[in-house]
């Protein structure tokens, strides 16, 4: 399959375990595109508009299920499924290698990749991906750089911390629990920001027509959470 690798890090892969059990049993292309935390219901692929013939990037694509859905059902020119985790990159190649070359798995830090590809993409999206886990000040500037003028950025991110604590009123990350590949406990950075903070960041990064919708969970549950669905366009 078409795949590129530019990620260089000696740090342990804190996404080694994520989605591993599912990949053993669920190898199909999903039948729908979901933005919300529960990955069921809510707005779907229409949020991206018509992607026929467009060049698209998924930031923090994980196993590339969303990217595979787009490629299999919506005829983009190409979807680059970008992920910094060696484990996630390998899983994506294993699951959806048959969708190359339209689906291209890219093993890279999202910010670095976007900075290296000016005006490459018509659409950039992220589903609880690198927008949540990379410094948004740098990532959003890079996303504006990598979008063609007028291009769309769409992303889902948490509306509050899991457990209910409110989102941050400033550009401030939290250190959340994580596990190394050998099971040791550690932390990783996550940015959970209020709508006004995202709006200001997007505005300062060169985006316009910014909208943010808060999507509450369909029902209660220990891991139910509000989703913020962010949409913005690169200034022309
Ligand atoms: C919660 S998972 C979401 C994966 C996928 N979007 C999904 O919905 O299943 C977050 C993903 O973001 C990736 N990620 C985190 N920081 C990243 C960065 N700076 N560059 C690229 N990928 C990153 C992780 O490796 C992980 O696969």
In whole angstroms, what is the distance from residue 109 CA to residue 56 CA?
16
The whole-number pLDDT of residue 176 equals 96
Q: What's the pLDDT tens digit per position in 75-129?
A: 999 999 999 999 999 999 999 999 999 999 999 999 999 999 999 999 999 999 9
Superfamily for 6-234?
Vaccinia Virus protein VP39 (3.40.50.150)
The whole-number pLDDT of residue 10 equals 80
Cβ of residue 128 lying under 6 Å from some atom of ligand 1:
yes
Q: How many residues does the chain have?
A: 236
Per-residue pLDDT tens digits of the chain, which is 236 residues long: 455 666 656 899 999 999 988 988 989 999 999 999 999 999 999 999 999 999 999 999 999 999 999 999 999 999 999 999 999 999 999 999 999 999 999 999 999 999 999 999 999 999 999 999 999 999 999 999 999 999 999 999 999 999 899 999 999 999 999 999 999 999 999 999 999 999 999 999 999 999 999 999 988 877 799 999 999 999 99
Return the structure tokens found at 100: 């190359």
State whether residue 198 is helix, strand or coil: helix
Pairing of β 55-59 and β 78-83: parallel
Which of 110, 129, 141 gets mutated to test ligand 1 (max ligand atoms within 8 A of its CB)? 129
The whole-number pLDDT of residue 3 equals 56
Helix 136-146, helix 195-204: angle, nearest 10: 50
Cβ of residue 85 lying under 6 Å from some atom of ligand 1:
yes
User: 179 CA to middle of ligand 1, Å?
Assistant: 15
* Phi/psi of residue 32, nearest 5 degrees: -155, 165
Return the structure tokens found at 1: 């399959």
Which among 129, 182, 188, 186 has a CA at the least distance from the CA of 153?
129
Measured CA to CA in angstroms, residue 45 lies from 18, 119, 128, 135, 149 at distances of 24, 23, 15, 26, 22
Domain ranges of the chain: 6-234
């Amino acid at each position: 399959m078409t795949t590129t690798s530019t990620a260089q890090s000696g740090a342990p892969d804190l996404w080694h375990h994520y989605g591993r059990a599912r990949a053993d049993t669920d190898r199909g292309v999903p039948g729908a595109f979901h933005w919300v935390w529960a990955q069921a219901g809510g707005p779907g692929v229409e949020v991206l508009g018509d992607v026929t013939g467009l060049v698209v990037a998924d930031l923090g694509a994980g196993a590339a299920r969303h990217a595979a859905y787009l490629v299999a059902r919506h005829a983009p020119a190409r979807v680059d499924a970008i992920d910094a985790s060696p484990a996630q990159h390998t899983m994506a190649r294993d699951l959806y290698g048959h969708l190359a070359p339209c689906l291209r798995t890219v093993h890279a830090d999202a910010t670095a990749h976007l900075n290296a590809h000016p005006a490459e993409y018509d659409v950039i999206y992220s589903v609880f991906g690198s927008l949540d886990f990379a410094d948004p000040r740098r990532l959003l500037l890079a996303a504006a750089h990598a979008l063609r003028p007028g291009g769309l950025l769409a992303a889902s991110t948490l509306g509050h911390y899991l457990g209910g604590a409110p989102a941050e009123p400033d550009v401030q990350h939290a250190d959340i629990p994580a596990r190394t590949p050998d099971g040791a406990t550690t932390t990783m950075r996550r940015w959970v920001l209020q709508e006004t903070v995202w709006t200001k960041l997007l505005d300062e990064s060169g985006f316009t027509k910014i909208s943010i919708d808060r999507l509450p969970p369909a029902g209660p549950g220990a891991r139910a959470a509000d989703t913020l669905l962010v949409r913005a366009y690169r200034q022309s």
